[in-house]
Structure 1
Amino acid sequence: MASFQQYKTKTGYKWLFKIGVGTDPKTGKRKTTTRRGFKTKKEAAAAAAEFQKEIDNNNLVVRNEITFEDVFKEWWAVHLKTIKDSTQASKVSKFNKHILEKFGKMKIKSITKAYCQKVINRIAEDIDSVQDIKIQANLVFKYALRMDYITTNPMEYVVIPKNEKEFLSSEEDTRNYWEKDEIKLFLEKVREQLPHQDYVMFYILIFTGMRKGELLALEWKDVDLIERTINIKQTLFFKDGKEIFQTTKKYHSKRVVSIDDHTAQILKKWRTQQKELLLSNGITSEAKYVLIRDDMRPLRLAYPNDVLNRMIAKNKLHRITVHGLRHSHASVLFEAGASLKEVQARLGHKEIQTTMNIYTHVTKTAKEKTAETFKKYMEL
């Protein structure tokens, strides 16, 4: 909207107007221009109205030419300030690998529902996490809708195709957890074949249900061996080879986990051994973290994965991921009779549905116990 002002010249009084011409893309600040030399305010107002029409027409051309990548950059500049570094890296990777190559150079107003569906169908052939790709792309289209770059969101009604294997039944679902006997066997093999710190690492992951990043960021000051508790309040993330410590990802992730006597004893002995190992290397200062490298930095984030994969291959164990150790902890808790709410609190899940998803994959032993309970009841 234009503003008007009278000013004095050598020949008398004249009028000027100031009018906004958009936003500077680099600074985000509003840009204005000034036109002078009008004899009356009415003449200045008429000129301002004509100038506004030119601006509107130019903006219309610009909006018709704007690409998906242009909108993405604009949206990302705002969005990245609302998420953590680890989430930023993950999202950028998804856009670079799957979204920008398909939509980036296209004018956003020319992207159709049919094209979006075709892209999602193609991505679904390559990866299982196509739902998340749709969600991320949809955030950009929603932003474009809010900014009036488009009038409808072509991604909104895209359907996620089912993978062929979802229609096929299998004798046994792939399970990403170990049962009690498998856990015991694994820990025996680790004790026999790996350094003691690795044994401590896997033991704590299995017996507390901690996330990998939470354990690698765990400091000794947050371990209370008298009260037998672990205070989980941060997680580790690596960016460009540098350790970044973040508060745990959600409010419910900040929690105090109780540990049993045996776990407390393992940690107590490890603390003593850790000090002795450091002294043998001429280091007199105490370690800050429970698990460390030779230079006292936290372990690499990929280290548990690498060691677990080698142990599984070497000993021909049922294949699971490091996150599967967390599921193993939950499954054993359910088998032992723990409630959904108890497991939810221990694992730091914000939503009960997350815990229930694990519950649906309870161990074979638990399923057999259910059948046995029914059989015994019927015999009464």
Structure 2
Amino acid sequence: MAKSTSKKLPTGVRIRTGSVQIYFERRKQRYNITLPHPPTAEGIAAASKIRAELATKAEWGILTDADINAAKGYQAESIVTSGVLFQEVAQKYLKHCEANTDSKKDYLSALNKHWMPYFALSRIDEITSDQIKDAIADRGFKTDKTLNNCLVPLRGVFDKAVEMKLIDQSYNPMSDINNKKVQTGLPDPFNRDEMNALLTWLDKNLDGDEHFYYWYFEVAFWTGCRPSELLALRWSDIDWFNGSIIINKTRVRGVEKSVTKTHTVREVYLNDRSKAAFEALQALKLDNDYVMICPETSQPFFNEKPPRLRISRAMEACRIRKRPAYNARHTYATMLLMDGVNPVFVANQLGHSIQMLMKRYGRWIHGDKNKIEMSKLRTD
């Protein structure tokens, strides 16, 4: 029996009855495969490469019996992989990506679910645009927006390959892959009567600690802050003397980020309603630096689900058409514009550029004047 030249065998490789065997577990299934290689340094190195390839396929759910049978008949020299694989570049891309934690998780999920089964073990410089288009067609994405989101990390992988000089920019296969056009829906705010009905219901029907959610939505409707911004708000962010709050961070899935969605710090000015709401929250004496404290846990909110459930109950009770709780922000924006507030000021309060404000809320700038103008049209 030949002796191994290695004192320590690679992970997942062992010697049994004069042969090299590989073993691994993926997706709750165990694999033990005996290879036709002698237990020499060369045979063990070959076995380690085969194991890595088969384990990767098993992880992506694309390992077949044919792959296993082929591995059992491999010659040591036939399994040496040349070139850099897609999966290697993808790992490098995720490691160097400067996106936030949640975005990275989404990118990893998209790569694992949609792209690794097709390209994980392909050389990055041999993947073509036609192969990518075939993969897109095979995946059958339910919406164009989902496809566009999943293309973000795929583009990132090939951009990383260009950066690493593994492919030339002129041969980047993603150059021929275009995003689908997605129609952006208009904001769907509550009108004033709807907003007042919802707040009245919350005020009258939420008792005890749960009454907190009435004040939460007074703040949401009368500051226009995003839910993630409200959940991150600290008492030290409130400037009582000047009547404003500083929005400079967010809280998403229990993780606080020191940036807003647009990476821009802004000062939101308080009005009588929002100031009264903050004073009421302060009077609750929750003994925490966070303004918004979950009544059920006495801790900062993990996400915005608890407030969302309360406003959903209010909509159902008031027989108001269901809309996301996020529309409290849209409601504040449209109220400001319909009351004739300077659009530049409104944009600053929301953290938008003036161009984005006009694109999303332009139809509300003239308030009810549009209806007045239409009433002048004779249809007789």
Shorter-chain TM-score category? 0.5 to 0.7
Matches of 1:199 and 1:155, distance apart in 2? 49
TM (normalized to structure 1)?
0.67
TM (normalized to structure 2)?
0.67
Matches of 2:359 and 2:138, distance apart in 1? 28
Matches of 2:113 and 2:126, distance apart in 1? 22
Matches of 2:109 and 2:130, distance apart in 1? 25
1:126 corresponds to which of 129, 138, 142 = 142
Distance apart, 1:298 and its partner CA? 0.6
Establish whether residue 179 from structure 1 lines up as the match of residue 197 from structure 2.
no
Distance apart, 1:376 and its partner CA? 7.3
- Report the CA distance shift for 1:308/1:111 in structure 2 as closer, same or farther (over 3 A): farther
Contact 2:85 2:120 in 1 (8 A): yes
Distance apart, 1:257 and its partner CA? 0.8
1:245-269 C-alpha deviation (Å, 9 max, x unpaired): 2212367631111111232122212
Matches of 2:270 and 2:325, distance apart in 1? 20
1:325 corresponds to which of 324, 328, 334 = 328
- Paired residue secondary structure (1:115): helix
Distance apart, 1:124 and its partner CA? 6.5
1:282-340 C-alpha deviation (Å, 9 max, x unpaired): xxxx2222121355321221333333334334443222223222122212222122343
1:31-52 C-alpha deviation (Å, 9 max, x unpaired): xxxxxxxxxxxxxxxxxxxxxx
- Where does the alignment leave 5 or more consecutive residues of structure 1 unmatched? 1-59, 167-172, 279-285
Aligned to 1:18: none
1:218 corresponds to which of 233, 242, 245 = 233
Matches of 1:345 and 1:252, distance apart in 2? 13
Aligned to 2:315: 312
Distance apart, 1:132 and its partner CA? 2.5
- Report the CA distance shift for 1:125/1:311 in structure 2 as closer, same or farther (over 3 A): farther
Contact 2:94 2:108 in 1 (8 A): no
Distance apart, 1:134 and its partner CA? 1.8
Counterpart residue identity of residue 266, structure 2? R
Counterpart residue identity of residue 321, structure 1? P
Contact 1:121 1:161 in 2 (8 A): no
- Where does the alignment leave 5 or more consecutive residues of structure 2 unmatched? 1-79
Counterpart residue identity of residue 258, structure 2? T
> Which has the higher Rg, Structure 1 or Structure 2?
1
Counterpart residue identity of residue 157, structure 1? D
Aligned to 2:370: 370
Counterpart residue identity of residue 291, structure 1? M
Establish whether residue 297 from structure 1 lines up as the match of residue 299 from structure 2.
yes
Matches of 1:340 and 1:144, distance apart in 2? 44
1:217-260 C-alpha deviation (Å, 9 max, x unpaired): 1112222334221122221133xxxx332212367631111111
- Paired residue secondary structure (1:257): strand
2:130 corresponds to which of 114, 120, 124 = 114
Matches of 1:246 and 1:72, distance apart in 2? 25
Contact 1:252 1:345 in 2 (8 A): no
Provide the identity percentage.
Answer: 24
- Paired residue secondary structure (1:245): strand
Establish whether residue 93 from structure 1 lines up as the match of residue 109 from structure 2.
yes
1:143 corresponds to which of 145, 148, 160 = 160
1:62 corresponds to which of 78, 82, 93 = 82
Distance apart, 1:161 and its partner CA? 4.2
- Report the CA distance shift for 1:307/1:137 in structure 2 as closer, same or farther (over 3 A): farther
State the superposition RMSD in angstroms. Answer: 3.1
- Report the CA distance shift for 1:377/1:314 in structure 2 as closer, same or farther (over 3 A): closer
- Report the CA distance shift for 1:159/1:86 in structure 2 as closer, same or farther (over 3 A): closer
Matches of 1:101 and 1:176, distance apart in 2? 39
2:213 corresponds to which of 198, 219, 224 = 198
Matches of 1:316 and 1:119, distance apart in 2? 45
Distance apart, 1:189 and its partner CA? 1.9
**Segment of structure 1 superposing worse, 107-116 or 179-188:** 107-116
Contact 1:124 1:161 in 2 (8 A): no
- Paired residue secondary structure (1:309): helix
- Report the CA distance shift for 1:67/1:253 in structure 2 as closer, same or farther (over 3 A): same
Matches of 1:345 and 1:77, distance apart in 2? 35
1:75 corresponds to which of 68, 89, 93 = 93
- Paired residue secondary structure (2:94): helix
Matches of 1:344 and 1:144, distance apart in 2? 39
Counterpart residue identity of residue 95, structure 2? A
1:50-93 C-alpha deviation (Å, 9 max, x unpaired): xxxxxxxxxx9622xx33221100122222xx233333333333
Task: Count residues with an aligned counterpart.
Answer: 290
- Paired residue secondary structure (1:256): strand
- Report the CA distance shift for 1:244/1:159 in structure 2 as closer, same or farther (over 3 A): closer
Contact 2:93 2:160 in 1 (8 A): yes
Counterpart residue identity of residue 298, structure 1? P
Contact 2:86 2:122 in 1 (8 A): yes
- Report the CA distance shift for 1:246/1:371 in structure 2 as closer, same or farther (over 3 A): same
